[in-house]
Amino acid sequence: MTGGGYADVTLLYRSAHGYAELHRAKHLGKWVVLKGLKEELRTDPGYAALLRKEFDIGYPLSHPHIVRMENLDEVPGLGTCIVMEYVDGLNLRQYMDEHRLTRAQKEKVVRQLCSALSYLHGKQVVHRDLKPENILITHHGQNVKLADFGLSDSDEYAIYKYPAGTRRYTPPEQSQDASADIYALGVVIREMEGGARHTRLARIGRRCSHPQKAKRYQSADEVVQALDRRSRLPLIVALLAALALLLAALWYFRPADPAGNLKDENSIDSTLNTPHSTLSERSEAQSQVTENQSHTTNKGVERLGEAGHSTLREPSVPEKLRPYVRHASPEDSLLWADARYRTLMEMAIDSLPTYKARGTSIEDALRALNRHLDVAIPTSDPLYLHALLDLQALANQVYKR
């Protein structure tokens, strides 16, 4: 501990429900962040031990995507503080609110987070509070810096082993090993995807945050491997499109009536209705009627498919919600079939415009809706996370209109 030497000390953040506060200060010619206890807790030995545990876990860490801890110091007026590098940037929550993330940016964030998590887990350290507020994005380079090890744990510690984390990012089984970080990573990925279900990144996010621990990726390295794995879907789609074009061309340039297979309907009717026509003539005419009808029916189906291909919509989605539902899939059908999910979404679309008109912030509106969600669906139900993310995505769309 060196003591003193801190100038231009400014409060950055004070936790409403936690024990810490952050200050920015100038020390030895550069900006640093001072993390200390709130004034009313500075003499509490329990909280002092928590701050010390955070420093002991974080100080040995050295990784380009983890905020660096430099010292544990006594700062006049602030007490014992962890001295950390100052990151000039925004947290991921703020960054998503101010920028529309491209696919490349999302994958960059995931890769850099996985790099940091793989490093931590290799040292038997679990972050336990991974969420957008603790993921910093630098202004220069838009690189990730993982922050806030206040709830972290390692195998070396035998104290303060209680379950921890922010509820939304905590797995249902309350595990405290590396799987808890993988689950939280999945929720973060799905938030970046904004409720989309059919992208490769969204599928990776769903597997990370699977309610059953055994069905998640077992490490951050597996998540990166899934990102690197080239999906064969674009190739399959391209081949099917080429085949469809070929079939359409063959159909378009077909002879009007190849080999006279389609006979004049009047002559067929005449044969069928002539009393003296032979049995073989009547049989041939009846067969030709069946063939003509089959040909006509197939042509009608083709035309119906061409006309309806771009307009068919998921019939189970309520009409007033269809402007906000961009995709329809079997998975969506299962969601809308659940009365709890359907009722929540209908209530949301009825109330969100009112909240917006009254000037209610989107955060307050979501808090009100989430209270209804907590009552309607247990957090252990896999449907809970779907509904939580979809309510957020719906609110974002309504408030942006």
Least confident range from 30-44, 314-328, 359-373: namely 314-328
- Higher local confidence (pLDDT), 154 or 365: 365
Given a cut of 70, whether residue 158 has pLDDT beyond it is no
- Assign residue 175 a region (left: φ > 0; alpha: ψ between -120 and 50; beta: otherwise): beta
Rounded to whole angstroms, how far apart are CA atoms 13 and 138?
A: 18
pLDDT (0 to 100) of residue 288 = 55
Q: pTM higher than 0.95 for the full model? A: no
pLDDT (0 to 100) of residue 231 = 52
Q: Give the pLDDT band of residue 42 (cuts 50, 70, 90).
A: very high
- Higher local confidence (pLDDT), 197 or 161: 197
The domain 91-157+164-233 is placed in CATH, from the list 1.10.940.10, 1.10.510.10, 3.90.650.10, 3.20.20.70, at 1.10.510.10
Task: Report the chain's terminal Cα–Cα distance, integer Å.
Answer: 54
Residue with tokens 């630098």: 138
Measured at the CA of 152, the angle between CA 146 and CA 154, to 5 degrees, comes to 120
Tell the burial category of 95 from Cβ atoms under 10 Å away from its Cβ (0-12, 13-18, 19+): buried
pLDDT (0 to 100) of residue 194 = 86
- Higher local confidence (pLDDT), 9 or 339: 9
Contact 347, 395 (CB under 8 A): no
Least confident range from 35-44, 137-146, 152-161, 281-290: namely 281-290
- Higher local confidence (pLDDT), 56 or 380: 56
Q: Give the pLDDT band of residue 382 (cuts 50, 70, 90).
A: confident
Beta bridge partners of 83: 34, 71
> What secondary structure letter does DSSP report for 398?
H
Model confidence pLDDT, tens digit, residues 200-238: 999 999 999 999 999 999 999 999 999 998 655 566 777
Q: Give the pLDDT band of residue 125 (cuts 50, 70, 90).
A: very high
**What are the sequence ranges of the domains in the chain?**
6-85, 91-157+164-233, 264-290, 325-400
- What's the whole-number average pLDDT of the chain? 81
Model confidence pLDDT, tens digit, residues 340-351: 888 888 888 888
Contact 38, 133 (CB under 8 A): no
Given a cut of 60, whether residue 87 has pLDDT beyond it is yes
Rounded to whole angstroms, how far apart are CA atoms 371 and 361?
A: 16
Rounded to whole angstroms, how far apart are CA atoms 29 and 76?
A: 18
Tell the burial category of 358 from Cβ atoms under 10 Å away from its Cβ (0-12, 13-18, 19+): exposed
Residue with tokens 């399959």: 236
pLDDT (0 to 100) of residue 161 = 47
pLDDT (0 to 100) of residue 287 = 53
Model confidence pLDDT, tens digit, residues 390-399: 888 888 888 8
pLDDT (0 to 100) of residue 27 = 94
Q: Which of these, 93, 28, 103, 33, lies nearest to 68 by C-alpha position?
A: 33
DSSP for 130-180, please give it.
Answer: -SGGGEEEETTT--EEE---TT-EETT--S--S--S-GGGS-TT---SHHH
Neighbours of 340 (CB within 10 A): 16
Q: Give the pLDDT band of residue 296 (cuts 50, 70, 90).
A: very low
Q: What percent of the chain has pLDDT over 70?
A: 74
206-227 burial string, b = 16+ CB within 10 Å, else e? bbbbbbebeebbebbebbbebe
pLDDT (0 to 100) of residue 312 = 32
Q: Give the pLDDT band of residue 3 (cuts 50, 70, 90).
A: low
Q: Give the pLDDT band of residue 24 (cuts 50, 70, 90).
A: very high
pLDDT (0 to 100) of residue 272 = 43
List C-alpha distances in Å: 330 to 156, 283, 334, 346.
Answer: 47, 46, 6, 20
Q: Give the pLDDT band of residue 93 (cuts 50, 70, 90).
A: very high
Q: Which of these, 251, 272, 114, 107, lies nearest to 178 by C-alpha position?
A: 114
Enter the tokens of residue 120: 């931590």
pLDDT (0 to 100) of residue 376 = 85
pLDDT (0 to 100) of residue 339 = 84
Given a cut of 80, whether residue 157 has pLDDT beyond it is no
Rounded to whole angstroms, how far apart are CA atoms 309 and 65?
A: 46
- Fold classified for 6-85: Phosphorylase Kinase; domain 1 (3.30.200)
Given a cut of 50, whether residue 311 has pLDDT beyond it is no
Given a cut of 60, whether residue 329 has pLDDT beyond it is no
Neighbours of 312 (CB within 10 A): 9
Strands 20-27 and 30-37: antiparallel
